[in-house]
Structure 1
Amino acid sequence: MILSRRDHILDVVFLVGVFFKGLDGLVELIGGVLLLFLSPSGLTSVAHSLTGGELLEDPHDIIANLLIKGAHQLGGQGAFFISLFLLIHGVVKLAIVISLIVGATKIYPWAIGALGILAIVQSVGFVVKPSIGVALLTILDFVVIALTWREWRQHRGLKETLCETIAWIRSAKASRQS
């Protein structure tokens, strides 16, 4: 199948989106495990350790201050439910990304469904408590869902898409050099 420039660009966006979904899943999994096993004071201590240097340079750093504030607010049952939410999100996203990497094209409809459910949950969370981070992750989820649907309709696995994209980038680079 000969792909247009637009198709190749969508492939790049799909591959980048899948990479960030995997990274997001890994961060959520690690965060969920940390929340599950750290006491509220231990969590606050970790947050201070991670942000100490940045806050010395810029005491008004938004991300560092949000991390400290969030660590102070977590505790008890709230931390357990957030941990459970992060663990489930992380495991599902990593399972989807790993399945896509190994070439299980049959997983595409399941990936679309699971990401759709997670995106809906995130959308509800955004309505209840708006945040730029949740908005960006939800938009990324919807973009990855649409592009996963596109890949599934084209009957291409992630490896095939990656190989075709690399070949397209190399040929574009070679044609510019000549």
Structure 2
Amino acid sequence: MRLTDPNTRLGRFLHWLFEISLVLKGLFAAAETLSGLALLGMPGNAVLRLAQWLTHRELTEDPHDAIAAALLNAAQHFSIETQSFYGFYFTSHGALKLVVVVLLMRGVLWAYPGAVALLTAFVVYQMYLWSLHHAISMLLLTALDLVVIALTVREWYVRHGFAIRHSSQK
């Protein structure tokens, strides 16, 4: 059975999985882009005011609430420069992924190797971030990206009509 054969049950399932992964990546990319635009459009102290509003009631009832205190502390250290950086990062990162997802959904052939290169760069950067912070979210995001890379390579082979030869064929 060839993984690139689109006429098998496995081939149809892998194509469906590829399409679902693109939809998920597209939704994440759109949310990331909108979040970045929101950060860029917010006044400088909006993050702190929002954190104060969110935590006021809880900290009034329990001044030692660890989660509310941590959120407020993080917002107090969230500078204008940090807000601008994350706004730019989320907007550009999300928009770039959104463009790639749209190109892949439209079947643009050069977008397949481009997407693999871009996602590989994201994986390398995410692993760098993971090495610094050990955030499980980076591992989960990286796992999703690796699945999408594998499905994109397979889809590219199918679209180009390449066949991975089964080892028993001579």
Counterparts of 1:5 and 1:107, CA distance in 2: 26
CA distance in 2, matches of 1:86, 1:27: 9
- What is the CA distance between 1:95 and its match in structure 2? 0.4
Aligned CA distance change for structure 1 residues 68 and 27 (closer, same or farther; 3 Å) = farther
**Closer/same/farther in 2, CA of residues 86 and 66 from structure 1, 3 Å limit:** farther
What is the CA-CA distance between 1:67 and the residue it aligns to?
6.9
Which is bigger in relative contact order (C-alpha 8 A, separation at least 6)?
A: 2
Aligned residues: percent identity? 29
Match of 2:106 among 102, 108, 116: 102
Deviation string, structure 1 residues 64-110 (Cα, Å, up to 9, x no partner): 99876654542222222222221221011100011122221221111
Offset of 1:144 from its aligned partner? 0.4
1:83 counterpart letter in structure 2: G
Which of 118, 122, 125 does residue 122 from structure 2 map onto? 118
Residues 92/14 of structure 1: CA separation in 2 closer, same or farther (3 Å cut): same
AA at the equivalent of 1:130: H
Instruction: Give the aligned residue type for 2:11.
Output: D
TM-score, scaled relative to structure 2:
0.72
Q: Which runs of 5+ in 2 are unaligned?
A: 161-170
Aligned residue pairs total 148
Gaps of 5+ in 1: 157-178
- Say if 1:40 and 1:72, in contact at 8 Å, map to a contact too: no
Residue equivalent to 1:22: 26
Query: Matched residues in 1 for 2:22 and 2:52: separation?
Result: 31
Q: Please provide the CA RMSD for this pair.
A: 2.9
* Higher alpha-carbon Rg: 2
Counterpart in the other structure of 1:131? 135
Partner SS state of residue 140, structure 1: helix
TM-score, reference length from structure 1? 0.69
Matched to 2:135, the amino acid is S
Write the distance in 1 (CA, Å) between the matches of 2:145 and 2:19: 13
Counterpart Cα distance in 2 of 1:131 and 1:35: 22
